[in-house]
Chain A
């Protein structure tokens, strides 16, 4: 049993464990909105868009968070704007904008070589290099996101559940949507070093899906998703050390194990909660 906690002797692991746990909880918290708004593909796409910004930041020598952050926020707002015009579907908008950004990042890395943060680390996550600045960034983003969810709880719930009526009721739904997109881009940026571009979407989606399978209450889903995300971050980090696998993969696999266990426990009732659609009503 003591062997499990052996890696806690190392400072780099303690840093990584802290960041992975907080990042997991953060993704779980925001993932509730991502899943309920059926924006799972957006999480996947935005993480790829951020990759392009990270590459550009590395090539021109500006700070990673600044360059990739501005890029991610711009991509998020562009997707929102294109989607609202209803000329093309949001899934197509995400596909065009984010994959182009990802391809741009790959091209830049190909042309100018790797700089500062390697392509592999960005794609698959590398928690070993986490320092005090990274901890502060993830902590700050977590506090800011939690404050937004706390203060905007009712407004965000209304705008997520019924945007048209929320709009009629005086809520500025367009601004709330834009705020959520920006926060999503920032959260992806802050957690990408732990989870990697490829796997961050799973950290957004799995905890919220598990929580939805367990409850019919929005408030309970919110904290359950946060708790599941944090637990998966913690367990995944410990497993990544002992199994010698990338941290992002271990965290996502921990989530997949929890999903399988909850699915086995709740069966069709859990899937029923996750899989409904608009207009699908009781008799």
Chain B
């Protein structure tokens, strides 16, 4: 985490109305960084992203972003109106409010080629004419990653990218994000998925209204940190050099006589 930061939150506190959500949160996103923010529902994960994206003004603390920083944002799938009348091509092209500086509705040939190239890169090149509702969960997620990439971002911010997708889709998404990161893209994401996603990331921030701990998964996915973050006892196994989090409540329910 020694590279020059793309974005930095310094002792940031945020609230909706008079209800404080996060307090004294500090977070650094270096160029080419790959950061996961984990925590229970209501812990302030999305709020931290909003502060980072500058769509929410902090009550206190500072948010610094590199001058001219280009950010691509992929929202939660649950926030998208999948019934909205747009095709995949139309959805991706939204990232361009203007066509080569002109205020015209139609897309130029070069824009269409650019959209096609991004869709091809994400493996959904044949779906450009489909309505967004007629796609699988993984394909829908890729459409919005494509829209974010069309803006040539330096930082990709994703809110719960694996929410509501199956194991195979999650696996594919993890590889896709790994490839994008290997290509130099910095990524910040939130997730509830400790084993399927968080444990594979190089840097984690555990959040519960404040930063409980941050570091490499093996350092922060510990029983003590997890209990402080989630308020529930958890065991951690190490498999193949990676932490595997086991909820003790599940063990107790599954094993007769278990805790």
Binding site for B on A (CB under 8 A): 36, 86-87, 150-155, 157-158, 160-162, 164-171, 212, 215-221, 273-283
> In the assembled complex, how far is the CB of residue A162 from the closest CB belonging to chain B, in whole angstroms?
7
* B53 contacts the other chain (CB 8 A): yes
A-B contact pairs, 8 of them (CB 8 A): A150-B105, A161-B81, A164-B79, A165-B75, A168-B55, A216-B86, A217-B85, A278-B81
Q: How far in angstroms is the closest Cβ of chain A from B94?
A: 4
A219 contact from B90, B133, B151, B157, Cβ within 8 A: B90
Q: How many A-B residue pairs have CB under 8 A?
A: 115
> At the interface with chain A, which of B26-34, B96-104, B183-191?
B96-104
| Chain B nearest Cβ from A165, distance in angstroms | 5
**B82/A281 in contact, CB under 8 A:** yes
Complex Cα–Cα for A155 and B90 (A): 12
* CB of B149, distance to nearest CB on chain A (Å): 13
How many positions in chain B have a CB within 8 Å of any CB in the partner chain?
43
Whether B103 contacts A151 by the Cβ 8 Å rule is yes
Contact B82 A168 (CB under 8 A): no
- Apart from A150-B104, A278-B82, what 13 extra A-B contacts exist at CB < 8 Å? A150-B105, A153-B104, A164-B79, A168-B55, A169-B95, A218-B86, A278-B81, A281-B80, A281-B140, A281-B164, A282-B134, A282-B136, A283-B137
Interface pair B97/A155, CB less than 8 Å apart: yes
Q: Determine whether B154 belongs to the interface, using a CB cutoff of 8 Å to chain A.
A: no
A276-B85 contact in complex given A155-B97, A167-B55, C-beta closer than 8 Å? no
- Check B87 for interface membership: any CB of A closer than 8 A: yes
Please determine whether A153 and B105 come into contact, CB atoms closer than 8 angstroms.
Answer: yes
Residues of B within 8 A of A165 (CB): 73-75, 147
Question: A residues within 8 A CB of B55?
Answer: 164, 167-168
Q: Which residues of chain B from 118 to 160 have a CB within 8 Å of any chain A CB?
A: 131, 133-137, 140, 147, 151, 157
In the assembled complex, the CB of A136 is this many whole angstroms from the nearest CB of chain B, namely: 26
Is B198 an interface residue, CB under 8 A from the partner?
no
- Roughly how many angstroms separate A115 CA and B164 CA in the complex, as a whole number? 61
Question: Cβ of A160: which chain B residues have Cβ within 8 Å of it?
Answer: 84
**A158 CB to closest chain B CB, in angstroms?**
4
* Residue pair B140, A161 in contact (C-beta under 8 Å): no
| Chain A min CB distance to B135 (Å) | 6
Chain B contacts of A86 at CB under 8 A?
16-17
| CB nearest to B95 among chain A residues | A169
**A158→B147 CA distance, assembly (Å):** 11
Tell me, yes or no, whether B71 is within 8 Å of chain A by CB.
Answer: yes
Residues of A within 8 A of B105 (CB): 150, 153-154, 219
Contacts of A279 in B (CB 8 A): 77-80, 82
Bound together, the chains give a CA A215 to CA B90 distance in angstroms of 14
> In the assembled complex, how far is the CB of residue B201 from the closest CB belonging to chain A, in whole angstroms?
22
**Does B93 sit within 8 A of A, measured CB to CB?**
yes
Query: Nearest Cβ in chain A — how far from B75, in angstroms?
Result: 6
A154 touches B75 (CB 8 A): no
Bound-state CA distance A221–B86 (Å) is 10
Contact B73–A171 (Cβ < 8 Å): no
Q: Mark B55-94, 1 if CB is under 8 A from A, else 0.
A: 1000000000000000101110111111111110011011
| Bound: A157/B95 CA distance, A | 11
- What residues of chain B lie closer than 8 Å to A215, measured between beta carbons? 85
